[in-house]
Structure 1
Amino acid sequence: MTAQQIDAIAEIQNVGAGSTFRYRALDALFSLGPSVALRLRDEVSRSAAERYAVLHEIKGGTPPRTRPGSIRHEVGSVNAILSLLHLSDSPANAARESAAILGPEPLAAFHDGGTLDGYLSVLARTQPKESRDHVAVLGALRGRIVSALWTELGDEGRALAERLTARGELARPDAGRRLADLVRPEAAGHPLLAVLAHPFDPSAATWDLSEVDLVLRRYGCACDSWETAVLTTSQYFEPVLTTKGAHGHADRDHDLGTD
């Protein structure tokens, strides 16, 4: 998906000036790797309204309304946008989105469905399988920052870091701020402290991860592409907390299993 195609889809979905943040989130999503467009054939002669109702039921709602048994529940979601699944809302939107993505003759762009299983098995080997959610990503980032600031933390800060790590609580919303508050006075203006304290969720100001990463790279704490996508999208859409540690307990009921 190119930036132009993403913009075209956003226009079809009536993303107005107040929702342009979705562009940045979608850019982060589609930069992760290839996308696959599927055309489904109805063999039961349903009406258009019935077909789309069935498809939406199979797809599942956005978190936290994701129903067990739906694709979004079984595949897993980091947040509402990073669920790795999109379904057109109507036949009209399906036609317009297909044209935007596949060109003026979208039907000619589809391949024989009989080859799909083999194609997907090969495509899945093109990059590592990914299962890190917001808690895992934020915890890892904070761990790298704490390691870089180890001498600046002082005894109390290092002790807190050890406790949070042992309990799997580095990604708690307040954990980064608590650690940042315990640095030695002479390190109070360190550029990494603001990143350490930031929750990367909708409760705080949104940051441009490309600018944040310039700071992180300077101190050997850079994010990879998956981490960038998770932290970018979770600033706009409430993250699903599944990994042990977000609130000191485990509530994961499935792996994300995203490829």
Structure 2
Amino acid sequence: MQNRRKFLQTMAVASVAGMLPGAVKGSSLLSSTNKDDNALPVIISTWSHGLDANLAAMEALKGGGSVLDAVEMGVRVPEADPENASVGLGGLPDRDGHVTLDASIMGPDGGAGSVCFLEGIVHPISVARMVMEKTSHVMLAGEGALQFALENGFKTENLLTPASKKAWKDWLKEKKYEPKANWEKDPNAYHDTIGLIALDNNGDLAGACTTSGMPFKMHGRVGDSPIIGAGLFVDNEVGAATA
């Protein structure tokens, strides 16, 4: 088993580093530079706005946190960034003006938690982790997810910033709903999530995914991000993937 784990660690570093220059140009990669440990830990996330998330995740690991702590702390950064219109605070609303959030988290032991259609909570990823650790469920949705969050000390906040409200008001003038596939020349165009995966010095994996979803979506729409096995999956002996 140890030989297999060592092989997977080496392959993870090599494959991720080899991928980045071409196929996933928008992605962000952060790894150590210690050749003795095969350049572990490694943290990778989707799109350029993931770099700050990676740095926060690395700091969590350096501070003695677990790999699960790292992915949670990492994606909390864009969740709290009002300038990021695709995640958390300042996320673009649905067609009715509601900012609804989805998030999922999964650790090295196969445990997972997620929330979807959650309103008023800046950090849905932390609620998702509590779902994993404090309940016998995997997913909570809508009012149930909000009630659970409030019962566990989370505070509500208006997530609709002046900028996201203006974007919504501008959209209302034409009310065109034209979802676009993400194959444009600009890889950041129409992207609506951040996914982050971390591999620590022990070879343990964890992942997190969080989003405000498709801009101006129909009220009630939930995407793939909070779905374990679609938006995120972690198998500690094989690998991890996030959408």
Q: Structure 2 length normalisation: TM-score?
A: 0.24
Structure number with higher strand proportion: 2
Structure number with higher helix proportion: 1
